[in-house]
Structure 1
Amino acid sequence: MPFAEGVFGTTCTAEEYAASLPTKDNPYPNITCLSRGQNIGLAFLVQASFLSLLSVFVIYGLIIRNIQRHRRFGKWSLFRLPTDIYMFALLSLDIIQAMGQVLSIRWAYMGKVETGGYCTTQGLFQQFGEAGVAACTLAITMHTFISVFWRKGVHNRRAALIVVGAILLFCSLFVGIGAGVHNDSDAPYITPTPYWCWISARYSGERLGGEYVWLWLALFSSFLVYIPLFLWSEGYLAVDAISWWRFHLTYRHKLEVHGGRRRTVAILAYPVTYSLLVCPVSVIRWIGFGLEARGQSIPSVATFISISIFALSGLSNVLLLVTTRPNLLLFGSVPGVQTDYESSNPSGGDTGSGAGAGMDGVTIGITQETIVDDPIEDMVHFHTRSESRASSSTMVSVVQLAMPATMLKESDSMSHMTQHSESPSTYTASEGHSTGP
C-alpha cells in the first residue's frame, strides 16, 4: 500500500492518524501509524527474526539427521544429559519468540499497527517466547552452577524435565490467565506498543512479572555464575569441597584439562552473548519508562536497533551450541564409527576419558579431544577426579605415617626394585612408544 494515500507520510487516514495520537482521555491508543523510516526499522526486525527462525529450523533438521544416523547403531538417546533437555527447550522457545517477531511483517506491509486478532496473537507469542527463553537461559545458568560447585545433578535428567515443565507451565498460565482476565474491549490486554503488539502499557505489573523480571534475572545470574566459574577454571578461585559457599582467591595451576582454552571461551561466551542481546533492549526500555511518565517517547531508531539485536537470540543460541557445546543433541561422534583418535590409537590404551565408569554409556573426555560431551561437564568430572586423587594421596600418606620405620624401609626398597625391573619397558602413553631406562 503506497504511503501517498495517507497523511503526514503514513498510510493512515486522517481519522486513523487522529486516533493514533495519545491524549488525556486515550493515553494508550489502539492504533499506531508508521512513518517510512519506522517501516524500514520493522523490516530490519523481521529480517533478524527470520534469521533466528531459519537457523533453529536448520538445527532441527540436523537433529533429525542425527537421530537417523544413531538408529543404525543400536541404543541411543537424544537427551543424554540435562543440558540436552535445556538446550532443546531453549531452541523450541526461540522458535516461538522469533515467530512472534516475524509477524511484524504485516505491520510493515500495512504501514500501521492496530488491535485485533492478529495483534493479540503476536503479543501472546512474544510474551510466551521471550519469557520462556529467559527462564531457560536462567535454568542453564543455575544447572551449570550446581554441577560445578556442588557437583550434583550432572546426569539428573528427571530434574531437568521438571524444571522445563515448570517453565512451560508458568508461561502458559501467565499468558492464558492474563489474556483471559483482561478481556475488556475498552482496555485490551494486547495493544500496539507502539511498533508491534505486546502487553499494553496500562498493565505494567504484567509486563514486569511476565518478561522483564526474567530477562534481568537471567542477565544478572549469568554474570554472577559464569565469572566465578571462569576464575575457578583459571585457578584464581578455590572452592571448599564440602561447603560450596566457602571460597577464597588464590593462585594455583589452572585445571589441566585438554582443550582448556576452548572451555574457558565456552564459559565466557554465554554471559557475553546474553548481555549483548539483552542489555541494549533493557536500557532502552528503562529509559522508556521514564520518558513515558513525562509523556515523551524514545527515538524509533534506538528502539529498532536494540530490538533487532535482541531478535538475533535464536541465531546466537544456535551458534553457541555448535561452537561451544558441539556434542549435545547427538551432534557428537556416532557410536560404532571409528574416530580419528581411535584409528591413531588402535591398541586401546588409556585415554584418560573414564568412559563407561558409571556414566550410563556417556563418554566424558578429559584428555581425548574427539569425544567430549560438554565442556562444562568435562570440568566437573575433572575436578571430581582430581579431588579423588587428592583424597587417595592423603590416605597413603596417613598409612605411611602409621607404619614402623623398618616397614617403610622395606616398602621403599621393594618399590625401588620394581621400578628398576620395569624401567627398560616403560610405556609412555603420550608418545605412543616404549622408552629405555
Structure 2
Amino acid sequence: MDDVTEFNLRGTIAILITSTISNLAVFVVFLCIISQNHSSLHTVVTRLVLNLFLSDFIQSIGFMLSYNWAIKGIIEPGIYCDIQGFLINLGDVASGFWAFVICVHTYMRVVHSYEYPHIVFLSMITIWPFNILISALGFAIQLGTDGKRFYGSAGGSWCWIDKYYQEYRIGFHYGIILFNAAAMSVIYTIMFVILYKRQTMATRGSKRVLQRVNKKLVWYPAVYIVLVFPLALQRIVGLAFQNSNIWSSFYLIPAASIFTSAGLANAIIYSITRNLVSVKPVISMVPKIRRSITTASSPTTYFINTRNSFFTSESITTDMEPMSITSATKSMRISYIEHSTIYECDDDSRYSSAVTPPSPIHSTDPLNNHNRNYYNSSDTISPV
C-alpha cells in the first residue's frame, strides 16, 4: 500500500470520527429541544434551529456511509456511492441556507425588534425542495453524458460530485455555500455597526445587554466561515488552475474533517446562544427583584410576613383567603398603633380602637395566643 492510499484510509477514519461525533451531538441537542415544554417548540427560533440540525444530521449520515469504504478499502461507483453523494450535497447546501435564514431572523429581531411569523414555513417550502432538486438533478444530468456517473470518488475518502462535472460542483455546492457565507458576513457587519452606535447612546444596563448580544452573535459567521472556507478554497483554487489535486490530500483531508464537524459546532453554538433573543424575560425580572427587596425591608410587611409564616408553619387553616389574612393582620397592626395614641389622649376612648395591647399570657395553642393577644371578649372591633 503506497503512502497516498494509506493516508486516504487514515483520512477516511478521521472523517468518520468527526462525522460520528457531530451526529451524536446533533442527536443529543435535538432530543433536548423536543423534550422542552410544548409552547417552546412552536417558537420561530426553535423551528429554525431544528431545520439546521436536520441539515447537519443528513450531512453527518452521508459522511458516516464511508464506514463501508473503510471496510472495503476502496470506493466503488454505484448506488451506494450515489446515495452518499446525494446526502452529503443535500446536507451541506441545506445547512448553509438555514444558517443564512437564522442570520436574517437574528438581524430582524436584534436591530428592528421584528419577527416575521411565517419565515419558517416560507423557508421550508423553498429550501428543502430546492436542495433536493439540485442534489437529485445529477441523476438526470448523467443520462446525457454516456452514462458517466454524476457522483463518484472525491478525495479518496467519500463520494460526491465527480471531478468530470467540475462546473456543477460550483453551481450546486461551492457557489451556494460561499454566497451564504458572504451574505452572512455582510448582514452581521451591518448589525454590529448598528449595535455599536446604539451602545454609545444606551444606558449602562442596556450596554451590558448589547455587549452580550455582540459577543454571542460573532460566533455564527466566524464558525461557519472557518468550517466551510478551507475545503471550498481548495476546490476553487483547483478549478481555477484546472487541477483538482493542486494541494494534495494532505490538505484536503484535514479541511474535510473540519467541515464535517459542522454539526458539533452548531450544537455548541446553540447551547451557548439559545437564549440570545430572549433577553427580555431576564431584564423584566430586575424590577421585580428590586420590589421584593424593598418590600422585605418594610417593617409592616415584615410583621405581616412573620405572622403569616407563623400560622403556616403550625399547619393552621382558615376559611379566609390569603389576601384577606394579610389585610386583617395589617389592620390589626395599624389599630394597635392607633390605640396607643388614643389611650394617651382620652381615657374614655381607651377601648374604642380595634384591639387591646398584647397580653403577656400565652398558651400552647398559637391560634389562641393570637386571639388573646389581639382580641378580648369585652373589646369592640371598629373600623380603622
TM-score, length-scaled by structure 2: 0.68
Alignment-derived partner of residue 128 in structure 2: 168
SS of the equivalent of 2:205 reads coil
CA distance in 2, matches of 1:296, 1:61: 40
- 1:389-424 C-alpha deviation (Å, 9 max, x unpaired): xxxxxxxxxxxxxxxxxxxxxxxxxxxxxxxxxxxx
Check 1:165–1:107 CA distance in 2 against 1; reply closer, same or farther (3 A cut).
same
Alignment-derived partner of residue 197 in structure 2: 237
Alignment-derived partner of residue 155 in structure 2: 194
Task: Extract unaligned runs of 5+ from structure 2.
Answer: 299-384
- Identity over aligned pairs, percent: 23
Q: Is the 8 A contact 1:284 1:303 kept in 2?
A: yes
Q: Is the 8 A contact 1:49 1:102 kept in 2?
A: yes
Residue 109 of structure 2, aligned match among 147, 150, 153: 147
1:5-404 aligned at under 5 Å gives the runs 8=2, 35-66=5-36, 70=37, 76-80=39-43, 82-152=44-114, 154=115, 156-183=116-143, 184=145, 186-195=147-156, 196-233=158-195, 236-237=196-197, 251-253=200-202, 256-257=205-206, 259-291=209-241, 293-294=242-243, 297-326=246-275, 353=280, 364-368=281-285
- 1:226-258 C-alpha deviation (Å, 9 max, x unpaired): 23322333xx336xxxxxxxxxxx943477336
CA distance in 2, matches of 1:49, 1:323: 21
Aligned pairs, how many?
Answer: 293
Check 1:327–1:63 CA distance in 2 against 1; reply closer, same or farther (3 A cut).
farther
CA distance in 2, matches of 1:281, 1:94: 17
Check 1:255–1:177 CA distance in 2 against 1; reply closer, same or farther (3 A cut).
farther
Larger Rg: 2
Amino acid paired to 2:25: S
CA distance in 2, matches of 1:97, 1:318: 14
Check 1:254–1:108 CA distance in 2 against 1; reply closer, same or farther (3 A cut).
farther
Check 1:200–1:89 CA distance in 2 against 1; reply closer, same or farther (3 A cut).
same
SS of the equivalent of 1:188 reads coil
CA distance in 1, matches of 2:155, 2:104: 35
- Structure with the bigger percentage of helix: 2
Q: Is the 8 A contact 1:136 1:164 kept in 2?
A: no
SS of the equivalent of 2:152 reads strand
Amino acid paired to 2:240: G
C-alpha RMSD of the superposition: 2.9
CA distance in 2, matches of 1:61, 1:54: 11
Q: Is the 8 A contact 2:216 2:276 kept in 1?
A: no
Task: Extract unaligned runs of 5+ from structure 1.
Answer: 10-33, 239-249, 333-351, 354-363, 370-426
Q: Is the 8 A contact 1:52 1:313 kept in 2?
A: yes
Check 1:211–1:368 CA distance in 2 against 1; reply closer, same or farther (3 A cut).
farther
CA apart distance, 1:218: 1.8
Check 1:126–1:283 CA distance in 2 against 1; reply closer, same or farther (3 A cut).
same
SS of the equivalent of 1:157 reads coil
SS of the equivalent of 1:197 reads strand
Q: Is the 8 A contact 2:23 2:60 kept in 1?
A: yes
CA distance in 2, matches of 1:78, 1:428: 32
CA distance in 2, matches of 1:295, 1:168: 29
CA distance in 2, matches of 1:106, 1:323: 35
Amino acid paired to 1:217: F
CA distance in 1, matches of 2:190, 2:244: 42
